[in-house]
Structure 1
Amino acid sequence: MTNSKTLALGAFALALSTTALWAETELTVYTAVEAEDLERYAATFNEDHPDIKINWVRDSTGVITAKLLAEKNNPQADVIWGLAATSLLVLKTEGMLEPYAPAGLDAMDPKFRDSDNPPSWVGMDAWVAAICYNTVEGEKLGLSAPTSWADLTKPEYAGHVVMPNPASSGTGFLDVSSWLQMMGEEGGWAYMDSLHNNIAAYTHSGSKPCKMAAAGETVMGVSFAFRGAKEKTNGAPVEIIIPEEGIGWDMEATAIVAGTANEEAAKTLVDWSVTPKAMEMYNVGYAVVGIPGIAKPVEHFPANIPEKMINNDFEWAANNRAAILEEWSKRYDSKSEPKG
């Protein structure tokens, strides 16, 4: 009896110690990934690595970028998983990222990685600008669907357009930086001056304008294609419009924060972030992912997205980010929603 009790206690102790080992590594991961996807991302990662627990810190792109910069001398994050490449380039310039070449890097599209060797960041997927147009509200108000960015400045659209604030939203910033690249600096600011006349509000979330269009709170929301496809799948009367001039885009990307005390676990996560399994997970919501040949068509995504993606100069966008945001805020911030 004593022996069986001893054996049982020993087995119980082993089980406890094994459980403790599984939970012993925790990573603080900063992200701008859509909130409803975080549980799925962590669960899929934990299928292969149950010994690493992810503690998410999630907010919009601009807020996460500002938080990281504020913590430069006292980093709180271990890994950044799902932040705009343009933001990571800013952090790289500040010396805040730990260069690392993850296993499987050779399979990646070269556009989906930092150009240095080893790279400071690696891409996950691309998200692209789009206009969400509510067909019911548009018909009710006699407003035809736009086909171009230029259309959004039509006088009849006054008060019926919502877009993200580029200082807080990565989607907003990719719109503004792409307009400046496509139209030139003078033409880009002139366009935004005209667009500002029609804006009802600038939101602090890139997905909110499309959610508002889906709910009938606005006719047109400048957002991104993934959110439009999701709202349409959920039954909202929205059309996803890819403007004929071309669309801005950015990558969600991953990096290790320099100085992390959990470097091995951080490398494990970054290794996993570029696996085919991870790419298939990203493809649930994104039509373009970092490894060529993996992505399958996403329901309701317009077929012409790849050909409309501009030749985005990420280095230019990152190097000019502060100046662009300062100028934008000076001109247009009066219509921004209150923060918080």
Structure 2
Amino acid sequence: MDGGGTGGSWRRRTLRAFARAGLALAAIVILTAAAGGAAAGERIPITIYTAIENEQIAAIDAGLRRAVPEVEPLWTRGSTGVITDRLLAEAAQPQADLVFGLAASSLTLLKQAGLLAAYEPPGAGGLRSLFRDPTPPHAWTGMDAYLGAICFNAGRAAAAGLLPPQLWRELLAPGLKGQIAMPNPNLSGTGFLLVAGWLQSMGEAGGWAYMDALDQNVSAYLPSGSAPCYAAARGEVIAGLSFDMRAATEKANGAPIDIIVPVDGVGWEQEAVAILGSTRHRALAQRIVDWAASREANEIYARSFAVVADPDVSNPHSIYPPHAEARMIRNDLAWGAANRARILREWTRRYGAKARPG
């Protein structure tokens, strides 16, 4: 099955990139685990696929090991699109036991494909309602939410006589020609949430028309949600379309950027956890999901995200835009899952020539 809808050659390239990046990271985590605590041989290996940011893995891994000490987590990390397509490609012979930190729209797609086990952790009732699988049987549980944002290099913009945009359409200004970077939605969950958000909030015809015009100002479509913000922070472009917490992290680290969440609403996504139906370690996997829904786990997520599943946990950085959550559109994750392949085929047909490889 071609989950990305972009052809077999693209799948082979993305899976090779996944293998290079993901397996190397898994080895790092395994070596770290072996250096302290129980020896790996005394634990039961659990293979976990994830799309969480590299810098988040260590804290989550440590918390998970404390909560479920019998487990030896074997993390394999890739961007959202690559992880999603790999899980679909492995449908006949699943390799993972658990998915921890993947877009809920991707997990909805995997659920529709019959790949997830039904399980709702005991603590799910205390989470915000939007972080619970809305369609029985419950198969995924939300962790945190991230939303589209613009990393805007204020210094470069001022030198060019440009004001910070407040609406999406202001990114179409002629002065921004070649000065915008955006994530490739085939590879990046942030890229997909931006595209899906425009198609939902502007209507499909209006959304594609907007992206046609935006493409005239885009210099490149980059392989991760963080990469455009890095590019803006380095002054390579004026505007990097990214996600809220990457923008906040870069600004907190001294990047010369403004964090802009457009007034007319932004697409968003949530990371979630789910069990593969094929796992041979169902009881241990359920204990991991139980921990993932706990307050302790949410406090770890809140180190990186302003919006988390537990309504009583919040730790946004002082520079985080206070209005960001209010500007999240009414997002239909099921629609995104059902239309993902079609959207990506059309996006690639129109704009794929500017996509940078992973």
**TM exceeds 0.5?**
yes
C-alpha displacement at 1:117, in angstroms? 3.9
Secondary structure of the structure 1 residue equivalent to 2:175: helix
**Any conservation in 1 of the 2:40–2:72 contact (CA below 8 Å)?**
no
Instruction: Write the distance in 1 (CA, Å) between the matches of 2:140 and 2:46.
Output: 17
Correspondent of 1:82 among 86, 101, 107: 101
Instruction: Write the distance in 2 (CA, Å) between the matches of 1:270 and 1:134.
Output: 40
Aligned to 2:246: 227
Correspondent of 1:112 among 125, 128, 131: 131
1:282 maps to 2:294: no
C-alpha displacement at 1:233, in angstroms? 1.0
CA offset digits 1:162-215 (Å, max 9, x no partner): 001111111011110110111111111100000000000001101110111111
1:102 maps to 2:131: no
Structure 2 counterpart of 1:217, which letter?
E
Q: 1:23 to 1:300 in 2, by over 3 A?
A: farther
CA offset digits 1:245-280 (Å, max 9, x no partner): 101100000000111012122111111000001111
- Runs (4+) of structure 1 exceeding 4 A deviation are 18-22
C-alpha displacement at 1:293, in angstroms? 2.1
Instruction: Write the distance in 1 (CA, Å) between the matches of 2:193 and 2:298.
Output: 22
Correspondent of 2:167 among 148, 151, 156: 148
Aligned to 2:326: 307
Q: 1:117 to 1:323 in 2, by over 3 A?
A: closer
Aligned to 2:195: 176
Structure 1 counterpart of 2:336, which letter?
A
Correspondent of 2:82 among 63, 85, 105: 63
Aligned residue pairs total 322
Unaligned runs of 5+ in 2: 1-36
Instruction: Write the distance in 2 (CA, Å) between the matches of 1:111 and 1:143.
Output: 37
Tell me the TM-score normalized by structure 2.
0.87
C-alpha displacement at 1:118, in angstroms? 4.0
Aligned to 2:275: 256
Instruction: Write the distance in 1 (CA, Å) between the matches of 2:114 and 2:275.
Output: 11
Secondary structure of the structure 2 residue equivalent to 1:74: coil
Unaligned runs of 5+ in 1: 1-17
**Any conservation in 2 of the 1:285–1:298 contact (CA below 8 Å)?**
no
- Match runs of 1:7-26 below 5 Å: 19=38, 23-26=42-45
**Any conservation in 1 of the 2:160–2:175 contact (CA below 8 Å)?**
no
Q: Between the two proteins, what is the percent identity of the paired residues?
A: 46
Aligned to 1:199: 218
**Any conservation in 2 of the 1:123–1:252 contact (CA below 8 Å)?**
yes
Aligned to 1:165: 184
C-alpha displacement at 1:307, in angstroms? 1.1
Aligned to 2:204: 185
Note the aligned Cα RMSD (angstroms).
1.4
Secondary structure of the structure 2 residue equivalent to 1:247: coil
**Any conservation in 2 of the 1:286–1:298 contact (CA below 8 Å)?**
no
**Any conservation in 1 of the 2:226–2:246 contact (CA below 8 Å)?**
yes
Instruction: Write the distance in 2 (CA, Å) between the matches of 1:172 and 1:331.
Output: 15
Instruction: Write the distance in 2 (CA, Å) between the matches of 1:270 and 1:40.
Output: 16
Computing the radius of gyration over CA atoms, which structure comes out larger, 1 or 2? 1
1:328 maps to 2:342: no
Tell me the TM-score normalized by structure 1.
0.92
